[in-house]
Structure 1
Amino acid sequence: MEGIGPIEGEEQLVAVFGYWPTFHDAEVLWLRLDRRSGGEASYGPTLEALVHAFEMTDEVGPDGYYGQRFHVLVHLQFREVVKLRLDGFNHQNALHGLDFTDLRDRQMERVKWAVRFNSAFGVDASFECFAVEVLSVVPCGNAGEAINAEPPASNLDRA
């Protein structure tokens, strides 16, 4: 069971998938930008995302499509976001993948991660940040609707 590094809450995803997923064919349901800091130890803006993720299987269904399992809503928070580039958010935001590059070897810079929402259709985003956190992982149906739980609310609901 493998994660990708020091990401707070990553064990929630590893518990579902057995590894850190690639987010291939996942869909970004919403994004939220907040210019306020992400807490007492943080000084920069935050970006939050709710992503419907799942695992593709090698089984082909009667409809001719590969099967899917482990459908979850993943609520991510990125703190101290810099160099944000965001484009194409629309009615469907499918990803080729969600890519993380560890930048901790840059000893003189505060940023620790380069993040890329690699678009298949819709949203395409890239940025650097100090910290990444998995806030929650909620089971959902094939269409991204929460099962036996409310999907994570935006911080707008908490303000």
Structure 2
Amino acid sequence: MYYKEEAGYTCPYMEFTVHCFEMTSHVKSNGYYELIKHNLITFRFEDIHDSELIGFDHQNAILSLEFEILPTNERGFTPILVEIDPANGLGGEFKAFSGKVTKVLPCDSKGQLTS
């Protein structure tokens, strides 16, 4: 988590990149499902609060990344709940008052950038 200063206000933010792909119903000769449409997607969330992240290690495989728009609070802000369901490593959740996708870059099955 980082902090961004704007006009005297310090804003905690989080940015992370996820290797995403589509799993097809086609089973390859090695017995694994064929994975296609590999991309590296970078997310940025600002005004982070109520964060609880656990299990960060050398291999962070996410089973699912879920987003939920929460009810508007008494100050008029509508937070986003981000839940990270781990397959291995990093898991948890946090709330943010803004979020966006900053980059989508094509990659190969190992997460290496392609043209």
Superposition TM-score, scaled by structure 2 size? 0.89
**Contact in 1 for aligned 2:39/2:105 (Cα 8 Å):** yes
Larger relative contact order (Cα-Cα within 8 Å, sequence gap ≥ 6) = 2
| Partner of residue 143, structure 1 | 110
Tell me how far 1:112 sits from its aligned partner. Answer: 1.7
What's the Cα RMSD here? Answer: 1.7
Do residues 117 (structure 1) and 84 (structure 2) align?
Answer: yes
3-state SS of 1:141 partner? coil
Higher radius of gyration, 1 or 2: 2
Is there any run of 5+ residues in structure 1 with no aligned partner, and where?
Answer: 1-32, 149-159
Quote the Cα distance in structure 2 between the aligned partners of 1:133 and 1:83: 19
Report runs of 4+ in structure 1 exceeding 6 Å deviation.
none
**Contact in 2 for aligned 1:86/1:126 (Cα 8 Å):** yes
Superposition TM-score, scaled by structure 1 size? 0.66
Aligned pairs for 1:37-52 (under 5 A) are 37=5, 44-52=11-19
The total of aligned residue pairs comes to: 113
Name the structure where helix makes up a greater proportion of residues: 1
**Which deviations, in whole Å up to 9, do the C-alpha atoms of 1:27-64 show, x marking residues without a partner?**
xxxxxx21224x56x85210000100001000000110
| Partner of residue 71, structure 1 | 38
- Please tell me the residue identity of whatever aligns with 1:36: K
Equivalent pairs: percent with the same residue?
31
